[in-house]
Amino acid sequence: MSSVTFLTISLPAPLLQSVETLGYSEMTPIQEKALPLILSGEDIIAKAKTGSGKTVAFGLGLLSKLDAERFATQALVLCPTRELADQVSKVIRGLARFIPNVKLLTLCGGVPIKHQLGSLAQHAPHIVVGTPGRIKDHLMRHSLKIRQVNMLVLDEADRMLEMGFEADIAFIVRHISKEKQTLLFSATYPDEINAMSAHIQSNPVEIEVDSTHTSAHITQIFYKAEEEQKPQALVALLNKYQPESTVIFCNTKYSCNLVAKFLGEQHYHVLALNGDLEQRERDQVLLRFANNSCSILVATDVAARGLDIKGLSAVIVYELSADPEVHVHRVGRTGRAGQRGLALSFCNSQEMARAKAIETYQNTVFTWDKFNALKIPKNTTLRPAMVTLVIDGGRKDKIRASDILGALTGEAGLSGDEVGKIDLFDVRTYVAIKRSSANIALLKLQQGTIKGRKWRVRALA
């Protein structure tokens, strides 16, 4: 870990205040290498994985160049998925908290375009974070103008190319002035990345850093288990290690749904994440898992990238991927930023070649262990600490997190430590409450008011 602090670089006072408030002390390697270059106006092409701190690096960079008094879109961040765009938006909003009147708009597909059009019609956002398809849609509708963008960020550029967004990105770039700074972040460097860089960047400086989550922080154990043994093995390991939060990776949505259904029947608090979910359902699944109101998330690789859960206790690989790099991305969800992590992988007879390929790729020899299904204790279903309440009002209604917290700690009589994460969206707000206090919080919010109004409030089961 770097020992260089943010005080060593020339950041505006409000950003230094944000960095201190958010508890960022020392810079990560990507921040130490990239930030001085970004602040000096260089184009960069950086090889950095999720969890390396790259979002803070480019977030501080674009905010340091922002003129909040000029209502024009000055920064554009392109992301491959809605989930990643939401995470990036949250990080940048946190960094911008001490800069008055900064408008950031998240523009992604999978949600109605009506609210986006309404917000764009009011006045232009300073910062836009979004997916290429929806950004292109707004450009074709002339609802979004990006000619004055002075910083373009492509986050997880390799994933965007894999998803077929190359033409959309080229279309978007043609709508931006050539006098701009372009930052390209990619976990891998395929030839297509270099070709894209050649078309959209000017003499970029190449940066490569290791992720802050390394194998030294992650205990990896493999278990030989045939398909019919895996359900029992799963319960045995969950009860042996008792992780507070676990992501279980499957290769297909069919397996994902089967595993989630099985664990639900064993009375675990489990949710499934795959490509069949509607966008609001996907948002709710990720949100409930991140705020500790669900203990186990069963996911296909739609969540292997962009999933950034702080303090994830364990990853269980139910089915090995044929691609060793995918395995590394899965395992890398735990053991982040120097924390300890646990990665448990099942391997049946047909998957042994995959296990060997992963060993070769990681240049290591895995520890193999056995599970004992006869020693499965009863009634240890990893009950989550929190319950999520949803309020049918959000940013569009001028609701702030402080309004929710005030209602809960005021009339409802809860203490601050009984309230967890508060996630604000345009027309909804989700708030995590300690399980023991959830019923009283729900009742008080249903009977009381927030900002002088009554709102529909319910608990997510």
For the segment(s) 386-459, the CATH number from 3.30.70.20, 3.20.20.150, 3.30.70.330, 1.10.357.10 is 3.30.70.330
Q: What is the model's pLDDT at position 1?
A: 44
Q: Give the least confident one: 217-226, 271-280, 302-311.
A: 302-311
Confidence (pTM): 0.69
Report angle CA 264, 270, 274 to the nearest 5 degrees. 110
Q: What is the mean pLDDT of residues 225-252?
A: 93
Q: What is the model's pLDDT at position 192?
A: 87
Q: Which residues, 6 or more positions from 22, have their beta carbon under 8 angstroms from its beta carbon? A: 94, 95
Q: Is the pLDDT of residue 53 over 70?
A: yes
**Of 220, 158, 224, 225, nearest in space to 363 by CA:** 220
CATH number of 6-208: 3.40.50.300
Q: What is the model's pLDDT at position 216?
A: 62
The tens digit of pLDDT for each residue in 264-287 reads: 999 899 999 877 777 778 888 888
Q: Give the least confident one: 20-24, 139-143, 147-151, 307-311.
A: 307-311
Phi–psi pair at 360, nearest 5 degrees: -65, -45
CA dist 299 and 248 (Å) reads 6
The tens digit of pLDDT for each residue in 373-421 reads: 666 665 566 789 999 999 999 988 989 888 999 889 887 788 888 999 9
Residues linked to residue 5 through DSSP beta bridges, in sequence order: 26
Q: What is the mean pLDDT of residues 433-460?
A: 92
Q: What is the model's pLDDT at position 47?
A: 87
Q: Is 339 buried (19+), middle (13-18) or exposed (0-12) by CB count in 10 A?
A: middle
The band of 302, judged by pLDDT with boundaries at 50, 70 and 90, is low
- What is the 8-class DSSP label of residue 434? E
Contact in structure between 172 and 135 (CB atoms under 8 Å)? yes
Q: What is the model's pLDDT at position 395?
A: 86
Report angle CA 51, 67, 76 to the nearest 5 degrees. 45
Q: Is the pLDDT of residue 215 over 70?
A: no
Q: What is the mean pLDDT of residues 30-39?
A: 94
Q: Are strands 296-299 and 419-424 parallel, antiparallel or unpaired?
A: unpaired
The band of 8, judged by pLDDT with boundaries at 50, 70 and 90, is confident
Contact in structure between 207 and 30 (CB atoms under 8 Å)? yes
Contact in structure between 322 and 354 (CB atoms under 8 Å)? yes
Q: Is the pLDDT of residue 45 over 70?
A: yes
Q: Where are the domains of the chain?
A: 6-208, 215-375, 386-459
Sign of the C-alpha dihedral, residues 315, 320, 326, 327?
Answer: positive
Q: Which CATH superfamily is domain 215-375 in?
A: P-loop containing nucleotide triphosphate hydrolases (3.40.50.300)
The band of 104, judged by pLDDT with boundaries at 50, 70 and 90, is very high
Q: Are strands 246-249 and 314-317 parallel, antiparallel or unpaired?
A: parallel
**Of 381, 359, 355, nearest in space to 223 by CA:** 355
**Of 241, 446, 222, nearest in space to 354 by CA:** 222
Q: What is the mean pLDDT of residues 44-69?
A: 90
Beta-carbon count within 10 A of 99 CB: 17
Contact in structure between 316 and 233 (CB atoms under 8 Å)? no
Residue 433: strand, helix, or coil: strand
Contact in structure between 134 and 108 (CB atoms under 8 Å)? yes
Q: What is the model's pLDDT at position 213?
A: 45
Q: What is the mean pLDDT of the chain?
A: 89
Q: What is the model's pLDDT at position 246?
A: 95
The percent of residues in the chain predicted with pLDDT above 70, rounded, is 93
Which secondary-structure segment (H or E) carries 316? strand 314-317
- Domain 6-208 shares a fold with domain 386-459: no
Q: Give the least confident one: 189-203, 283-297, 371-385.
A: 371-385
Q: Which residues, 6 or more positions from 78, have their beta carbon under 8 angstroms from its beta carbon? A: 130, 131, 132, 135, 152, 153, 154, 155, 160, 169, 172
Q: What is the mean pLDDT of residues 217-235?
A: 93
CA dist 411 and 406 (Å) reads 8
Q: Give the least confident one: 98-102, 172-176, 331-335.
A: 331-335
Q: What is the model's pLDDT at position 174?
A: 96
More confident residue, 44 or 283: 44
More confident residue, 451 or 381: 451
Q: Is the pLDDT of residue 25 over 80?
A: no
The tens digit of pLDDT for each residue in 335-385 reads: 876 678 999 999 999 999 999 999 998 888 899 998 776 666 655 667 899
Q: Is the pLDDT of residue 2 over 70?
A: no
Q: What is the model's pLDDT at position 111?
A: 84
Sign of the C-alpha dihedral, residues 74, 79, 81, 83?
Answer: negative
The tens digit of pLDDT for each residue in 126-180 reads: 999 999 999 999 999 999 999 999 999 999 998 899 889 999 999 999 999 999 9
Q: Is the pLDDT of residue 212 over 50?
A: no
